[in-house]
Structure 1
């Protein structure tokens, strides 16, 4: 009796797929491989802002946020033979990251092959258009119409955010908004304003939950500054806060 051998068709492997952080966090995982449709995702690229970084002896870990979802962790290995050529990027810097998606104990992250500064803010919009185009090629016009609306909203949101950044000659963004506040200060104040309608305002613990991508020290320093400058005041105790311009906003 002749045996028949079933041969499964191999998935196509994408080269470098432009993505948003939200897509990377929600992409399907099949047999230890990340898959979009019938294609296996190997290398991806994202564009976002550095929220924080932690240097280690063998690697540097960044938190990159593109405003489509929670920030994603990015690890870049350090060349120990020539560590002098390794550049680090400060919080508030817009970067483009190319690398491979990883899943460690349910936590997704990027292993970066390359990280570079975004020197022209038009590149953010360009990246979003590339995301739409590449996924339209994978899923057709049905995806494209829905994605186009979503990406337009995201691009508009990011463009509004970066209007407050001054790009220096080295490509780094200073992160100063029109109200004179830095990126982190503006984010802390925005959350407090949204919660100011509550009788007691917002507690420090709830503020931490809203700003989970920031470390505690940055939040405390921001609160001290905002209180001293008259933007924020404490309510029932020193751990609850409201915005001073809530009633007039």
Structure 2
């Protein structure tokens, strides 16, 4: 039967919920006398399956965050686009639109973490689209060597951008492409 808290509009509620229907439940887990129970405050059928997909992505993200610790770049001021500042050379700014040649001069020697992330992402967006395989980390290291950015720092930026969903690996662990 339906939970007793669903007395309001019980008929229409029962018609929307039947076996096999995917629902969103908001509630609380409780334990009393070594017995666990769930108190459901809201039960709603899911009509937009993007919510269903988002749930699985969120579960994976939460698991990775809990098991792998904080991602590289934690502590970097976050703009609207997750970790990338929204000024000058940030996401969608002039440096991204004008490509790698314009982005490189904006990175100070050694590069702040967000600047290196932006530079690496810009490289993959401009150079990685030429091939289905994308670009290698070595390609990026060669392109940014004039800015004194180490291979380790490029690898950290690639890992951060992959974890944030801006890059994905293609044929092996060394080839990457930008997502959008």
Q: Same fold (TM over 0.5)?
A: no
Structure 1 or 2: more helix by fraction: 2
Q: TM-score normalised by the shorter chain: which range applies?
A: 0.3 to 0.5
TM-score (norm 1): 0.27
Structure 1 or 2: more strand by fraction: 1
Bigger Rg, structure 1 or 2: 2
